Chain A
Amino acid sequence: MSETNDTAGSQEPREDGTPRERVVGTPSPAADSALLAKEEYPAPAGAGEELDERSAKRAERVVASLFLLAFAASVGFIVYFIGWSGRDGGMHGIHRARESNLWLGGLMALSFMAMAIGVTIWVRRLMSSKPIVQERHELEATPEDRAAFSAAFMEGAADSGITKRPLLRRTLLLAAAPLGLAPLVLLRDLGPLPEKRLRHTYWGEAVKAAKEKGRTGVRLVVDGTNKPLKVSDFASPGAMITVLPEGIEENAHHALNEIAKAVTILINVPADQFKPAKGRENWHVNGIVAYSKICTHVGCPAALYEQTTHHILCPCHQSTFDATDAAKVVFGPAARPLPQLPLSVEDGYLVATADFPEPIGPSFWERG
């Protein structure tokens, strides 16, 4: 890339990449001629300099061939698009997308790069303009001008009467103030008020519905297959799965919103290592325990379960919870344990007997 070693006056890295700065106190390499006096070309403001015709001709040919290459590439782009990319009923699917991306992108890049290189060579080799000097004009006005403007401004203010008639001034301000507030009022219907929305999940609703039908609680179904889980299905120690309340996709009003709150991880921790929290002694079934999957930090699904350490890790910000110890925080930015879902057994099926006892997900001001 480098065509000259002349870097006079530049303290920045030279284009040939040799480091300019030396360690303080070490001798200068003898070959470092950049600091030594060298002839420089004069630069009076004015017309162009004369070029060496032969090298100019050569440069012209190079630039012209680059432009021709760019032309060929752009034509190729159009030809490929019209003639080839649409074959067999158009571009569909991953293989054709790959092919078309490479051809279209490659030809486009070739065209732009060839033109860019051509113009650069043109500027560097064929443009004969010389550097020129220009005065920097003063930015600020003269004191007289400022004074004159100030006087004119005050004169206008006096003419308009805004200084003399404070009643007008004040009532105008009074009239404008509510207008400024109006748009804010208009924004009120952007969304509903929070109310108690963040305090409960679909588990509560589903348990209530189940209890009305005389059942103990709502069944847990596997997220993705909707298979209700029996205790015996989930008996392998170290097992983990994501579960939802049965019927959430069909019955919930806004299914996606409800899933986003109700999603839960079910873990089979070794019963001998499980330390149930006080008052939650019967919330697990032989070490099968359910925690909210929504991290209490900023709400990513905390789903990474290590069966050797019994840690639940959130892959977003690495908050770590202990599955054997009521999902208490072991490490990371989360401040609160994952809420636990009370479990029980009915007809051999795992059921939830109540909603999470506390709001799930990130903390908020009204949470308390």
Chain B
Amino acid sequence: MKRFTAWRRRPWAGYAVVLAALAAIGVIYAGFSPQSDRAEAANATQAAADLKNGQQLFNQNCASCHGLNAEGTKDAKGNPIAPSLLGVGAASVDFQVSTGRMPAMNPGAQMPRKEPIPAFDTSIRTDYAEPEKREAAEKQKAQAEKNLADLREYVTSLGGGPAVPPAGAVDPKGGDAALGGKLFRTNCAQCHSFVGSGGALTGGKYAPPLDKSDVTPTQIYEAMLTGPQAMPVFNDTTLTPKDKQAIIAYVVQTREEPNPGGNGLGRIGPVSEGLVGWLVGIGLLVLAAMWITAKKPKKLKKS
């Protein structure tokens, strides 16, 4: 018994147990599955390998802050450094990692959006003309996608949680933008501003802009679902998937919509309008006034 307790406290023990459990599930599944055949068994082996990959990625990139068991860490005074990831789910992992917020570099008031690290960068360009280059890029992209999927699987395996929404649920074309606008103004605009250009929060935190095309519909859905950082949670039972799709439709349509009145001036409302009025409007008219009242050029006169 004692030996078993000591063994249980080893750092790798948690993973071993999880692996064992998963392997057991795989075996059982394989055993009970009606069409149990070699392919299924191969799938199970593959799943275990994927999970292993996810675990490795977790240990390399996440464990230093979130702890080897993803239980979260605290500093000497007991203030949390990084939250526990048990139960955050695949949606949260996908959001944080695909927006580059995690792994974090310098913990500050808020984790900024940045380029995802190469191992998870699924947005690299693959439209190279040279076949070899394209192939390499495509391969790298595929690997990044797999890495991300494996990491998601792994974190989900630790404690469950909301899953990544299916592609159909985040398709802006399927949403009711009119309803989405109403919901956006009631629940989102107070931080993200009326077109999603972002806004200030307390203590140097901010609501990030949603008007850039690199915020994908999936990420918007995941943010609502999981409430990253200071953002509140809007779970699927409060704002249903249909409501969320409506909000996505509104955000995407709004940011793709042209500004019929000319330059949008950042779409941040009267502050930039006042600035332009003073600088451009009054500025141009003062220049005109200076020109009109300047002394007449002398060379025009007959001397």
Out of B205, B231, B237, B292, which one reaches A120, CB within 8 Å?
Answer: B292
A233 and B179 alpha carbons, distance in the complex (Å) = 20
A102 and B233 alpha carbons, distance in the complex (Å) = 42
Inside 8 A of B202's CB, which chain A residues have their CB? 306, 309, 311, 313, 320, 331
A124–B182 CB distance below 8 A: no
Inside 8 A of A305's CB, which chain B residues have their CB? 232
Given A223-B186, A311-B202; A241-B234 close (CB under 8 Å): yes
Q: Which residue of B lies closest to A307 (CB)?
A: B232
A7–B295 CB distance below 8 A: yes
Q: Interface centre among B183, B199, B287, by most A CB within 10 Å?
A: B183
Interface status of A304 (Cβ within 8 A of chain B)? yes
B186–A224 CB distance below 8 A: yes
B240–A303 CB distance below 8 A: no
A306 and B205 alpha carbons, distance in the complex (Å) = 10
Given A15-B290, A225-B243; A55-B299 close (CB under 8 Å): yes
- Partner-binding segment picked from A45-53, A132-140, A167-175: A45-53
A101 and B187 alpha carbons, distance in the complex (Å) = 33
A222–B239 CB distance below 8 A: yes
Interface status of B288 (Cβ within 8 A of chain A)? yes
Given A224-B182, A234-B237, A303-B190; A98-B302 close (CB under 8 Å): no
Inside 8 A of A233's CB, which chain B residues have their CB? 235, 237-238
Interface status of B260 (Cβ within 8 A of chain A)? yes
A307–B230 CB distance below 8 A: yes
A241–B187 CB distance below 8 A: yes
Q: In whole Å, how far is B300's beta carbon from the nearest beta carbon of chain A?
A: 5
Out of B191, B235, B240, B300, which one reaches A225, CB within 8 Å?
Answer: B240
Interface status of B108 (Cβ within 8 A of chain A)? no
Q: Which residue of A lies closest to B296 (CB)?
A: A124
Out of A8, A94, A241, which one reaches B258, CB within 8 Å?
Answer: A94
Give the bracket for the number of chain B residues in contact with chain A: 35 or more
A2 and B301 alpha carbons, distance in the complex (Å) = 17
B300–A51 CB distance below 8 A: yes
Q: Which residue of A lies closest to B199 (CB)?
A: A315
B183–A225 CB distance below 8 A: yes
Inside 8 A of B229's CB, which chain A residues have their CB? 308
Interface status of A364 (Cβ within 8 A of chain B)? no
Interface status of B261 (Cβ within 8 A of chain A)? yes
Residues 267-303 of B contacting A (Cβ, < 8 Å): 287-288, 290-292, 294-302
Out of A59, A102, A125, A242, which one reaches B187, CB within 8 Å?
Answer: A242
Q: In whole Å, how far is B240's beta carbon from the nearest beta carbon of chain A?
A: 7
B297–A3 CB distance below 8 A: yes
B294–A4 CB distance below 8 A: yes
Interface status of A41 (Cβ within 8 A of chain B)? yes
Inside 8 A of B21's CB, which chain A residues have their CB? none
A315 and B198 alpha carbons, distance in the complex (Å) = 12
Interface status of B107 (Cβ within 8 A of chain A)? no
Interface status of B257 (Cβ within 8 A of chain A)? yes
B260–A97 CB distance below 8 A: yes
Interface status of A254 (Cβ within 8 A of chain B)? no
Contact with B along A38-70 (1 / 0, CB 8 A): 000100000001111101100100000000000
A313 and B203 alpha carbons, distance in the complex (Å) = 12
Q: Which residue of A lies closest to B183 (CB)?
A: A224
Interface of A is mostly: mixed
A50 and B191 alpha carbons, distance in the complex (Å) = 67
Q: In whole Å, how far is A209's beta carbon from the nearest beta carbon of chain B?
A: 25
Q: Which residue of B lies closest to A99 (CB)?
A: B260
Interface status of B201 (Cβ within 8 A of chain A)? yes
Inside 8 A of B299's CB, which chain A residues have their CB? 52, 55
Given A225-B243, A242-B187, A301-B190; A236-B297 close (CB under 8 Å): no
Out of B201, B260, B295, which one reaches A98, CB within 8 Å?
Answer: B260
Q: In whole Å, how far is B25's beta carbon from the nearest beta carbon of chain A?
A: 27
Interface status of A251 (Cβ within 8 A of chain B)? no
A241 and B235 alpha carbons, distance in the complex (Å) = 10
Inside 8 A of B231's CB, which chain A residues have their CB? 307
Given A120-B291, A224-B182; A240-B234 close (CB under 8 Å): yes
Interface status of B259 (Cβ within 8 A of chain A)? yes
Interface status of B34 (Cβ within 8 A of chain A)? no
B300–A315 CB distance below 8 A: no
B261–A101 CB distance below 8 A: yes
A217 and B297 alpha carbons, distance in the complex (Å) = 84
A239–B301 CB distance below 8 A: no
Inside 8 A of B258's CB, which chain A residues have their CB? 94-95, 98
Inside 8 A of A309's CB, which chain B residues have their CB? 202-203, 230
Inside 8 A of A13's CB, which chain B residues have their CB? 290
A241 and B233 alpha carbons, distance in the complex (Å) = 9
B234–A304 CB distance below 8 A: no
A227 and B183 alpha carbons, distance in the complex (Å) = 13
Q: Interface centre among B182, B230, B261, by most A CB within 10 Å?
A: B230
Inside 8 A of A241's CB, which chain B residues have their CB? 187, 234, 238-239
Inside 8 A of B205's CB, which chain A residues have their CB? 306
B183–A4 CB distance below 8 A: no
Q: Interface centre among B182, B237, B290, B294, by most A CB within 10 Å?
A: B294
A336 and B238 alpha carbons, distance in the complex (Å) = 29
Q: In whole Å, how far is B178's beta carbon from the nearest beta carbon of chain A?
A: 11
Given A15-B290, A94-B257; A307-B227 close (CB under 8 Å): yes
Q: Which residue of A lies closest to B292 (CB)?
A: A120
Contact with A along B140-167 (1 / 0, CB 8 A): 0000000000000000000000000000
Interface status of A267 (Cβ within 8 A of chain B)? yes
Interface status of A86 (Cβ within 8 A of chain B)? no
- 7 extra interface residue pairs, beta carbon distance < 8 Å, beyond A224-B187, A236-B227, A238-B233: A4-B295, A6-B298, A52-B300, A225-B179, A225-B239, A306-B201, A313-B201
Selected A-B contacts with CB under 8 Å, 16 pairs = A4-B295, A7-B295, A13-B290, A41-B298, A53-B302, A101-B262, A102-B262, A116-B288, A123-B292, A125-B296, A239-B233, A242-B187, A305-B232, A306-B230, A308-B230, A315-B199
Top 7 nearest A-B pairs (CB, nearest first) are A240-B232, A233-B237, A98-B260, A306-B230, A303-B190, A97-B260, A239-B233
